[in-house]
């Protein structure tokens, strides 16, 4: 009973980055490590391609002949997050740690890289649960374009990825934004940096009383 009363909400972690930077690899690693650490953990990947809206998004991403305006595509990606928003709140309320493989920031960065206004892109996502930490996997050089499987989907073109990178950087002033450089680092090394971002973020959540507050 007491533990019910004092149960704190779970931590919300988003892993972000350009295509092929290792988001899914690191999400899986983080989930396993959190579970070993005794956390009750849940993974949600965006786009979530199995929902009603997610199925349309999947067709859009995999079938280059499928026509959709950039605005429509953007709103579908956002709607896909809203489909899952109550589930995220519920899991956090149950004390679960929730790890997101892409989220709002991909939504805004990819669409604004196509030329849509940044603020317009942001507005349909306003009100979604805000992550405690956003771990942004980034590269200095274009190493990830060499990675296996790159180029299979609609957006995987180097020039476009550069534009997406510029838009992602606009989030770098947010206090929950934690960049991790992946250049020349193996999966284990990146995993250690990702883990440090998580542990630092949970320490920050328990910050001290400030003088004068």
Residue 185 CA to residue 53 CA, distance in Å, equals 36
Q: Which residues share a beta bridge with 180?
A: 137
47 lies in the site for ligand T5A, by CB under 6 A:
yes
Q: Which helix (H) or strand (E) holds 151?
A: none
Q: Which residues share a beta bridge with 181?
A: 138
Q: HEC string of 75-127? A: HHHHHHHHHHHHHHHHHHHCCCEEEEECCHHHHHHHHHHCCCCHHHHHHHHCC
Of these, 155, 165, 176, 195, which contacts ligand T5A (CB under 6 A)? 155
**Closer to ligand T5A by Cβ: residue 95 or 157:** 157
**Closer to ligand T5A by Cβ: residue 60 or 212:** 60
Provide the minimum distance between the beta carbon of 24 and Na ion in the complex, in angstroms, as a whole number: 3
19 lies in the site for ligand T5A, by CB under 6 A:
yes
The number of residues that bind ligand T5A (CB under 6 A) is 25
Taking CB under 5 A as the rule, which mask of x and - marks residues 13-52 in contact with Na ion?
----------xx----------------------------
Residue 29 CA to residue 77 CA, distance in Å, equals 25
Q: Which residues contact 116 (CB under 8 A, 6 or more apart)?
A: 70, 71, 74
Span 115-154, contacts to ligand T5A by CB under 6 A: 147-148, 153
79 lies in the site for ligand T5A, by CB under 6 A:
no
Q: Which residues of 150-159 are buried (b: 16+ CB within 10 A; e: fewer)?
A: eeeeeebeee
202 lies in the site for ligand T5A, by CB under 6 A:
no
112 lies in the site for ligand T5A, by CB under 6 A:
no
- Chain residues in the site for ligand T5A (CB under 6 A): 17, 19-25, 46-47, 61, 77, 102, 106-107, 110, 147-148, 153, 155, 182, 185-187, 190
């Amino acid at each position: 009973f007491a533990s019910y009363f004092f149960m704190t909400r779970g931590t919300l972690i988003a892993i972000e980055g350009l295509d092929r930077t290792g988001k899914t690899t690191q999400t899986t690693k983080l989930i396993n490590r959190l579970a070993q650490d005794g956390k009750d953990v849940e993974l949600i990947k965006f786009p979530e391609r199995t929902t009603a809206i997610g199925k349309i998004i999947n067709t859009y991403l995999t079938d280059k002949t499928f026509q959709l305006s950039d605005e429509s595509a953007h709103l579908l990606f956002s709607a896909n997050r809203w489909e899952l928003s109550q589930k995220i709140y519920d899991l956090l309320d149950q004390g679960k740690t929730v790890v997101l493989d892409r989220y709002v920031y991909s939504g805004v960065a990819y669409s604004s890289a196509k030329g849509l206004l940044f603020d317009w892109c942001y507005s349909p996502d306003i009100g979604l649960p805000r992550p405690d930490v956003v771990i942004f996997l980034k590269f200095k050089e274009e190493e990830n374009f060499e990675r296996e499987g790159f180029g299979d989907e609609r957006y995987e073109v180097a020039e476009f990825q550069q534009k997406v990178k510029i838009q992602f950087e606009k989030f770098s002033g947010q206090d929950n934004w934690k960049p991790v450089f992946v250049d020349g680092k193996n999966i284990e090394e990146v995993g250690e940096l990702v883990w440090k971002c998580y542990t630092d973020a949970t320490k920050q959540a328990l910050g001290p009383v400030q003088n004068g507050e």
